[in-house]
Amino acid sequence: MVQLVGSLRKELADSLSSCKVLVVGAGGIGCELLKNVVLTGFKNIEVIDLDTIDVSNLNRQFLFQKKHVGKSKAQVAKESALQFCPSANITAYHDSIMNPDYNVEFFRKFVLVMNALDNRAARNHVNRMCLAADIPLIESGTAGYLGQVTVIKKGMTECYECQPKPTQKTFPGCTIRNTPSEPIHCIVWAKYLFNQLFGEEDADQEVSPDTADPEAAWNPEDTAARATASEKDGDIKRVSTKDWARSTGYDPVKLFNKLFKDDIMYLLTMDKLWKKRKAPTPLDWQQLENGANPQEDTPASGLKDQQVLGVWGHCQLFQHSVETLRSQLQEKGEGSELVWDKDDPPAMDFVTAAANLRMHIFSMNMKSRFDVKSMAGNIIPAIATTNAVIAGLIVLEGLKILSGELESCRTIFLNKCPNLRKKLLVPCILDPPSANCYVCASKPEVTVKLNVHKTMVLSLQDRILKERFGMVAPDVQIEDGKGTILISSEEGETEANNSKFLSDFGIRNGSRLQADDFLQDYTLLVNVLHTEELEHDVEFEVVGEAPDKAPPPQTNQEEVNSITNGNKDSAQPSTSSKARAAAADDDDDIMIVDSDEEEEEGAPSSSTAAPGASSGTKRKHSDVETGEASTKRPRTDQSSAAAAADDDDDDDIIALD
């Protein structure tokens, strides 16, 4: 007779009380997960989260209360969990899991790692650390009503990076600066502008008209005289935007006329841009003030954030937000910077006002503050019950692992609507590792196409190895027979190389670079493919991914619009081709992307399976993260009765709403 402790077998209950587990993330899923882990009988738990509690977390992260705002999520989650299970041994870290202190030896002390993360970089890192430590990892994510849980085990299943994530689309700089055609372009511009004026300046986030726009093909010397931008209010000059703003004392009216009048009039001198487009209409503060109608911006009924102000209303909002942000800068002292946060009212007001004024200039319908926040902060509405369901599934998969039943683990999708068998939860068999994975293959290797005469060593380090391939502290040597060290993770050793081009070190077409990340216990061989034919604004391409590996983007305009209102890409919790079909990115409600750079092209609810579709072909779903169709592998025909009986077959999955 099986002896039970509560609802668990005694052997399993004993295992739970003695094993040590790591929970990464204490947000939407993390709070629910820590509660479940403690109540299930786990006694030795470590939880890590870098974030602090914000008031916006309180509607769904139930371990936190108003008195906890501003405190460490991990520490408060620990204290709250101990209140209903004082016997648990919980260690909390208010830190980043990517800190070098949490090395492979740190991970090896755990029997199981459970992820509740919200960004691709951290997910990549934990994936690699668990592979290096040979520890099972349970990955998870939610987005609105959609969710997913999957299990990753070295040598048995696909890892998080086995399937290439669709390349995050970046907006060409000339589109943002010269020819915006969608509200998201104006919102990206406004976020760039915030950083240029109040935050950390980035040369890649310039907001002034782009005279190098290849489409303009104009001669500035011939037409500059037609630009009537006034010297006093800030003519187009190649000086720092922040320096110019400081010189005006952050005068809201001067800033307004520079950004929405002078710059726009300068754009109008680029004749060729407006031959097939509607030309923008400059705004003048004095004219708007003189013609302001007091009734125009009288608050309408309904929620304030969902009202769309008039042009003068946004002018006043711009003025007020600039004055507030100027005061914040002055309070912080000389040389200080502000960080844009969607939950900071003055910062959100500034982006709302600047974006809407630019939308009006370029003949687009203006948006409410709520809509702008959704796009700028990339928010998908948070559903607390989704987090709870996913957290419960994480623990159930964990119990399988601790019972020694890894082969029975599944990737499980939570759908918004029941499928044809009236199921909301759809399990799929885990896929084996990909032989071509550049992370978990026996000898990871990639080919990168770039221009060795234009790519600097710093770009190789930051843009390619760190940003694209997820390394934390790479060391790179050239396989040239001499073992030339190109990049060292030791501070100061190779900094002199940063501003040099790859060709300066003899790197050419066919060169091979060995990149090592000792923290991740990870080595990647990079084959260099020199080319001078990359598209404009494209620094490099990874050969073999887009377009032949990444699924084609959808083109339905309605879907594009719906995703533009908030769905952004950052990290995909899925590992398999099945998982990609229904993957939800974030740990609770946000699909994060640098919307300053990137745009989604689809919506979670894109396609519907035809009732009469052939059972011999897998249906396409819209990827929650990317909005792109993911095609299932064809399977052999079987009777409909057999298909109906097979609960684990991924043919269960229908298009998600």
Task: Tell me whether residue 159 is annotated as binding.
Answer: yes
**Residue 198 domain flag:** yes
* Residues 309, 191 share a domain: yes
Whether cis (ω within 30° of 0) applies to the bond prior to 180 is no
Distance (Å, whole) CA 259 – CA 353: 12
| Report field, pTM of the whole predicted structure over 0.85 | no
Task: Tell me whether residue 440 is annotated as binding.
Answer: yes
Give the residue numbers spanning the domain of 30: 10-166+381-429
Distance (Å, whole) CA 342 – CA 307: 18
Strand 484-487: give its sheet, edge to edge. 484-487, 475-478, 512-517, 522-530, 445-450, 540-542
Task: Tell me whether residue 70 is annotated as binding.
Answer: no
Interval 103-148: pLDDT, tens: 999 999 999 999 999 878 899 999 999 999 999 999 999 988 999 9
Task: Tell me whether residue 13 is annotated as binding.
Answer: no
Residue 415 sits in a domain of what CATH number?
Answer: 3.40.50.720
| Range 237-251 average pLDDT | 79
| Residue from 480, 481, 460, 456 nearest 471 by CA | 460
**Residue 614 domain flag:** no
* Residues 95, 50 share a domain: yes
Check residue 587 and give its pLDDT: 39
Distance (Å, whole) CA 427 – CA 411: 6
Residue position matching structure tokens 């320096």: 243
| Backbone angles phi and psi of 192, in degrees to 5 | -60, -45
| Residue from 468, 439, 518 nearest 155 by CA | 439
* Residues 243, 297 share a domain: yes
* Residues 132, 220 share a domain: no
**Residue 2 domain flag:** no
What count of residues does the chain have? 657
Query: Which residues does the annotation mark as catalytic?
Result: 174
**Residue 653 domain flag:** no
Task: Tell me whether residue 428 is annotated as binding.
Answer: no
**CA-derived radius of gyration, the chain:** 27
Check residue 297 and give its pLDDT: 52
Final residue belonging to a domain, choices 487, 510, 543: 543
* Residues 310, 251 share a domain: yes
Task: Tell me whether residue 85 is annotated as binding.
Answer: no
Q: Is the pLDDT of residue 52 over 90?
A: no
Interval 478-528: pLDDT, tens: 998 888 999 999 988 999 999 999 999 999 999 999 999 999 999 999 999
* Residues 535, 451 share a domain: yes
**Residue 68 domain flag:** yes
Q: Quickly count: other Cβ atoms within 10 Å of residue 609's Cβ.
A: 14
* Residues 402, 253 share a domain: no
* Residues 478, 408 share a domain: no
616 CB contacts (<8 Å, ≥6 apart)? 634, 635, 636, 637
**Residue 131 domain flag:** yes
**Residue 148 domain flag:** yes
* Residues 17, 51 share a domain: yes
Q: Is the pLDDT of residue 592 over 60?
A: no
* Residues 153, 99 share a domain: yes
Residue 205 sits in a domain of what CATH number?
Answer: 1.10.10.520
Distance (Å, whole) CA 197 – CA 177: 16
Check residue 301 and give its pLDDT: 56
Distance (Å, whole) CA 216 – CA 204: 20
Instruction: Extract the tokens encoding 404.
Output: 């020694």
* Residues 161, 186 share a domain: no
Distance (Å, whole) CA 365 – CA 360: 7
* Residues 516, 367 share a domain: no
Task: Tell me whether residue 510 is annotated as binding.
Answer: no
Number of domains in the chain: 3
Residue 40 CA, chain-centre distance (Å), reads 32
**Residue 603 domain flag:** no
Task: Tell me whether residue 517 is annotated as binding.
Answer: no
Q: Is 320 helix (H, G, I), strand (E, B) or coil?
A: helix
202 CB contacts (<8 Å, ≥6 apart)? 192, 195, 196
Distance (Å, whole) CA 36 – CA 45: 12
Residue 507 sits in a domain of what CATH number?
Answer: 3.10.290.20
Interval 293-303: pLDDT, tens: 665 555 555 67
Check residue 555 and give its pLDDT: 36
Q: Is the pLDDT of residue 216 over 50?
A: yes
Whether cis (ω within 30° of 0) applies to the bond prior to 547 is yes
